[in-house]
Amino acid sequence: MSPDPAAARPDLPDRVAHSWDELHEVVAALDDPQLAAPGPDGWSVKDHLVHLARWEEYLLARLDGRDGIAEWGLDPSREWDADSVNAVLQPRDAGVSPAAARARLAGTHARVLERLRTLDQADLERQLPLIEGNTCGHYDEHREWIRALATAVG
């Protein structure tokens, strides 16, 4: 059940911060070889970090009224779902170093936090599913995959 949009503004920053801190705790414990080691599905931890940054970039574009799909260099006339986007973007970003993946996500996350501070209540309520899906909900989802991947690659 989604939170009450009227109560979302005071609660959202705390949920985003808590989820981010939990993600950061898992990732901070990993060294560069662990970040770069591919898992059984071909994704490394650094791939997950770049993926999260990409979707935060999408969030920023949408909040600013831009087409995030086009900004990724994807054909905006085509119907895209998350899986098809990820299948195109992950190989494009595979060469990103662990340090660059960490930095990209940290920078994008800082921009997201700043942008969220500018939303009024009406914008927040209207965009809440998009925001949650590309921040706290997404961090939680990937944190568990990252934790499992880190265990698998040792």
Kindly state whether residue 114 falls inside one of the protein's structural domains: yes
The C-alpha angle 20, 22, 27, rounded to 5 degrees, equals 90
Kindly state whether residue 125 falls inside one of the protein's structural domains: yes
Total structural domains in the chain?
Answer: 1
pTM score, two decimals? 0.91
Domain that holds residue 62: 11-22+42-153
Judge whether 142 and 48 are in contact, CB under 8 Å: yes
Residues of the chain whose pLDDT is less than 70?
Answer: 1-10
> SS3 helix, strand, coil % of the chain, rounded to 5?
75, 0, 25
How much is the pLDDT for 2?
Answer: 52
Kindly state whether residue 123 falls inside one of the protein's structural domains: yes
Kindly state whether residue 1 falls inside one of the protein's structural domains: no
Kindly state whether residue 5 falls inside one of the protein's structural domains: no
Kindly state whether residue 33 falls inside one of the protein's structural domains: no
Nearest 10 degrees: Cα torsion 153, 151, 14, 89: 30
Q: Which two tokens stand for residue 10?
A: 């005071």
Kindly state whether residue 56 falls inside one of the protein's structural domains: yes
Kindly state whether residue 80 falls inside one of the protein's structural domains: yes
